[in-house]
Structure 1
Amino acid sequence: MKISPNAPCPCHSGEKYKNCCFPYHRGIFPSNAQKLMRSRYSAFALGLSEYIMATTHPNNPDYTEEKEVWKKHILEFSLSTRFLGLKISEFIDGESEAFVTFEAKLDGGILKEKSRFLKVNNKWLYVDGEFL
């Protein structure tokens, strides 16, 4: 899905996309796990499967070397879901491990998760999450 850089960011930050998640989707690494979490939410909303795969830690249960199959699953989820809101309730920042607790409002209901991120080679990656 295409979006204008001047449109509101899909992560519901209140910022324009060009000033929020767009730079990360274009290759700049988020400086912390909260920014990564927001940019991943936006990437799901926009169907940016390559970004989701590139920001997922190899220890994540969904991670697979079968990239085309993984990409297909991400796109199916993105295209069949409406992303209606995102609320960050807690951010625990660390040097190499961080946690972001959030609520994602989707057309199928509210997803609550405490996500875990690890910093690998100076890049934050999503490892896993605990549903709340």
Structure 2
Amino acid sequence: MKFSPNDNCFCGSMKKYKKCCKTFHDKITFPKSALELMKSRFSAFALCNSEYIIFTTHPNNCDFTQDLKSWHSDILNFSKNTRFEKLEILEFIDDEVESFVTFKATLFQNKNDISFIEKSRFLKVEGIWKYVDGEFIEEEKK
């Protein structure tokens, strides 16, 4: 996939990537809230940026491993085989140390809809937000 820093960011901000999540991905600045981290992680997955995903994952996360080669490979495999269509923020509960973001990720693998809703938990560790875990939420049928 060809992607330019002048393209709109995947996080849904409607800003150019270079003025949005790229500054986080390049570690020029760090997300000031768990919401910013959530959005920047979605963009990182869409851009196959496994290093950022690993950097922003809390050690208590079940995917966290010292086997970085395998972890990078798993993230890249998922990212390369997934189309990241849209991120919708449904709820944001902000606090100074622990925050929650409920979101809907619209994703496709091949032509299969693998979209989901998750309530994610984030902790601030030494001034940097990290993704700890998430709970899938059943989507209400209309």
Which TM-score applies when normalising by structure 2?
Answer: 0.90
Superposed CA RMSD in Å reads: 1.0
Offset, 1:2: 5.6
Structure 1 gap segments, 5+ residues each: none
| Cα pair 1:114 1:130 within 8 Å, conserved | yes
Offset, 1:22: 0.7
Q: In the alignment, what sits opposite 1:12?
A: 12
Distance 1:54 1:2, change over 3 A: farther
| Cα pair 1:2 1:46 within 8 Å, conserved | no
Identity of aligned residues (%): 57
Offset, 1:109: 2.8
Q: Deviations over 1:23-55 (max 9, x none)?
A: 000102100000000000000000000000000
Q: Deviations over 1:61-96 (max 9, x none)?
A: 000000000000000000000000000011111010
* Larger Rg over CA atoms: 2
Match of 1:129 among 108, 111, 134: 134
Q: Within 5 Å, which residues of 2 pair with 1:1-132?
A: 3-27=3-27, 28-107=29-108, 108-132=113-137
Structure 2 gap segments, 5+ residues each: 138-142
Q: Which runs of 4+ in 1 moved over 4 A?
A: none
